[in-house]
Amino acid sequence: MRELYLLESDVEEIGWQERALCAQTDPEAFFPEKGGSTREAKKVCHTCEVRDDCLEYALMNDERFGIWGGLSERERRKLKKLAVG
């Protein structure tokens, strides 16, 4: 029998994603059409206990689409520029 081993970081990553409120919500709200409203997604993120983990994941993985950690792609880009500059 083959055993599956997960790295500790993989287990932590899976853990926050399972606790994320967006996992229980319509995913289309988090990936709106260009120019579409992000209000509903951000409202969900605002009350989510793993918001910081989500934002960190998006920044570390250079996520270019969707709402992550309560921020749009443009807002994440600005945040990265502030951190670098």
Say whether 54 counts as a known binding-site residue. Answer: yes
Rounded mean pLDDT, 51-78: 95
Alpha-helical segments (H) within 1-85: 8-19, 39-46, 51-60, 73-84
Sequence spans of domains, the chain: 8-84
Say whether 49 counts as a known binding-site residue. Answer: no
13 pLDDT band, cuts 50/70/90, is: low
34 pLDDT band, cuts 50/70/90, is: confident
* pLDDT(30) > 70: yes
Rounded mean pLDDT, 66-80: 95
Tell me how far apart the terminal alpha carbons of the chain are, to the nearest angstrom: 52
* pLDDT(6) > 50: no
